[in-house]
């Protein structure tokens, strides 16, 4: 059995995380009240120093785009390394149910 190169594994994980965030974006846009949960998570993590100011500002920018769905999704699902890393420390915990998350992972 051959081990996949580290870069390839990271790329595959990033793609799965991106797919989950695409489903999260769709759910948030169809249930805007869920943005409050994400904002609370962001503020709590920043206040407890779990995220740095730069990440805080990036997340704030994503959240502030919620009134423009295409912009919101573009920002959240951007392919750059910084955004991919940001998604790995998501503030959108609890948005998808376990069943919804499993469904995304199977597809």
Report pLDDT digits (tens) over 51-102: 999 999 999 999 999 999 999 999 999 999 999 999 999 999 999 999 999 9
- The pLDDT tens digits of the residues spanning 27-48 come to 999 999 999 999 999 999 999 9
CA nearest neighbour of 83 among 54, 45, 50: 54
The residues spanned by each domain of the chain are 7-106
Global confidence as pTM:
0.88
């Amino acid at each position: 059995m051959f081990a996949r190169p580290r870069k390839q594994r990271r790329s595959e994980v990033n793609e799965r995380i991106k797919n989950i965030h695409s489903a999260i974006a769709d759910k948030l846009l169809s249930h805007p009240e869920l943005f409050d949960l994400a904002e609370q998570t962001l503020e709590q993590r920043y206040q407890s120093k779990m995220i740095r100011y730069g990440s805080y500002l990036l997340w704030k920018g994503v959240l502030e785009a919620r009134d423009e769905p295409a912009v919101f999704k573009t920002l959240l699902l951007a392919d750059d390394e910084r955004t991919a890393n940001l998604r790995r420390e998501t503030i959108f915990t609890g948005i998808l149910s376990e069943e919804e998350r499993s469904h995304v992972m199977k597809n």
